[in-house]
Amino acid sequence: MTSHPFDLDAFLRRPLTARLATNGPTVRPVWFLWEGGAFWVLTGPWARLFDRVRTDPEVALVVDECDLATGLVRQVIARGRAELLPFDVERGRRKLVRYLGADEERWDERFVHYLYDDPAQRGTVWLRLKPVSLVAHDLSYAVSP
């Protein structure tokens, strides 16, 4: 199949779920923020992802969509070395707003805690993936009536 060009940044700004693969292999669904040419994912010592990336930072990430009703099929595949970086609240807010909406009062309290707990005490950090390889495919097709 031939891929059609599409707006990568617009696609990655949507609140889609990515799948992040680490050594093992282990694959897990994650919410992400696409910002500054990098994927940003919340993690910390409570998650196996944190330890896996500390042990082996080579990861792969896939974001895709497949809508059989419309024929829309797009995918982005990224690979590179993940970094664990200090958590900052403003980036955290931008990420959570894209998935949960702007009204924090409607959020489940598990998510609110990321913004108001002490990240040093909780251990919250960012996993940042600045891809060394980034491939985007639009494999959409026309749906017959």
State pLDDT tens for residues 10-62: 999 999 999 999 887 889 999 999 999 999 999 998 899 999 999 999 999 99
What are 90-135's pLDDT values in tens digits?
A: 999 999 999 999 999 999 998 998 888 888 888 899 999 999 999 9
Distance CA 56, CA 109 (A): 32
Q: Mean pLDDT over all residues of the chain? A: 92
Amino acid at 102: A
Count of positions (residues) in the chain: 145
Distance CA 93, CA 104 (A): 9
Q: Which residue has the higher pLDDT, 69 or 1?
A: 69
| Residue 3 pLDDT level (bands cut at 50, 70, 90) | low
